[in-house]
Amino acid sequence: MSKLVMFHGRECPHCRKMMPLVDKMIEEEGVEIEKLEVWHDEKNADTMRSHRDLITAKCGGQLRVPTFLNTETMDLFCGEVEYEELVDWAKR
């Protein structure tokens, strides 16, 4: 698994909004990030659930999507942010 992960849902509007920003970051910044869709892929869902405690602690007590997780530093956020904030997280 890549160091950076985006957990997302196919029918989640927040995820749809963030996806072009993630793609832009990949293209412009050369950032590697793995996109894991969780509602239609049980393995991806289990991967997200394996980080349950970490994610719920920072996401209103819930497993919200999108969640952006650095699996090395465990730095994470969920929801929509501006492009600059996304890049900042990815490069921290």
Partner 1 sequence: MRKYWRCHVCNDIHFGIKAPGICPTCLQKDAYVEVSAQEARGVMSVIETTVDKAAYADAIQVFAAGREFRVNPDRERVDLLLEGMFNNEGNHGLKYCPCRMIEKDFEKDLALICPCNFLNHDTYQDREDGECWCGLFIKRRNDE
- For residue 36, give the nearest of 60, 12, 57 by alpha carbon: 12
Nearby residues of 57 by Cβ (< 8 Å), 6 or more positions away? none
Q: Which of 62, 85, 88, 91 binds partner 1 (CB under 8 A)?
A: 62
Amino acid (one-letter) located at 53: D
- Nearest Cα neighbor of 80 from 39, 38, 19 is 19
Using CB under 8 A as the binding rule, whether residue 39 contacts partner 1 is answered as yes
Q: Is 50 among the residues that bind partner 1 (CB under 8 A)?
A: no
The answer to whether residue 45 forms part of the interface with partner 1 (CB under 8 A) is: yes
* Interface residue with partner 1, options 2, 10, 32, 85 (CB under 8 A): 10
Our CB check for partner 1 shows the closer of 29 and 39 to be: 39
